[in-house]
Structures are given as C-alpha cells and as structure tokens.
Amino acid sequence: MSDTNRELFPLVEEFYEFLQKKSIPEGFVMGRNLPRLTPKQAFKVIYILQEFLHILPDCFEQCQECLCLFDSDREGFYLSDEYELDGKPLPKKYQGHYCESCVPNIEFTTP
C-alpha cells in the first residue's frame, strides 16, 4: 500500500463517520442539516468517490458483517465464487468483503 493511502485512510474513516452523523470533523461548524446515512448508504458515497469519480483509491472496503471500513491492501479478505465449500462454489451468503475479525469460520478451498 502506498504511503498516500495509509495517510488517507483515517480521513476516509472520518468522512464515513460524518456521513452517519456520528462526528463532525474538528474545526468545522455545521448547521442542523447534517447527513444521517446508514453505514451502507455512507459506504455507497465512498464507493461512488472510488469507482465513478476516481477521487479515492479503490482499496477501502466495508466489512459485510460488522460494517467497519478497512484497507484491503493491508488487511481483510474478499471471498467470491472462485472459492469452494464442500466441492461446490462458495454460497452467495459467504461471498463479499470481510475485515480480519469477521471472516467466516468455514473451511473453504480454492479450485
């Protein structure tokens, strides 16, 4: 991971919290009309900044279990149908992005 992404991650987390009305960045005075998005809605904003506007790097992901953000260049897992469980493609319920502490405790294999 680049040093730039390492420095950017805390700012992206702060923006994620702001979008959920959990915190206002220090030094800012805001009116009463603050955003109040759910964690999934807040990540959709970050996703748009990554994938469509290319403002943020594509390494910041949301854990599908606990909904925290993580830097996929440094941690976490992405499970897809390329993995197998009991000789069959991994079921959709297990597919997605996971932080280190939420990855499913199942024995899957790569084909």
- Mean pLDDT, range 53-57, rounded to an integer: 94
Sign of CA dihedral 80, 100, 64, 24: negative
Rounded CA Rg of the chain: 16
pLDDT of 29 higher than 80 = no
Say how far apart CA 95 and CA 82 lie, in whole Å. Answer: 10
Band (25; pLDDT cuts 50, 70, 90)? confident
What's the pLDDT score for residue 2?
A: 62
Tell me if 60 sits within 8 A of 12, measured CB to CB: yes
Q: What does the pLDDT average to over 44-70?
A: 96
Q: How far is CA 70 from CA 35, 38, 48, 84, 94, in A?
A: 22, 17, 17, 25, 18
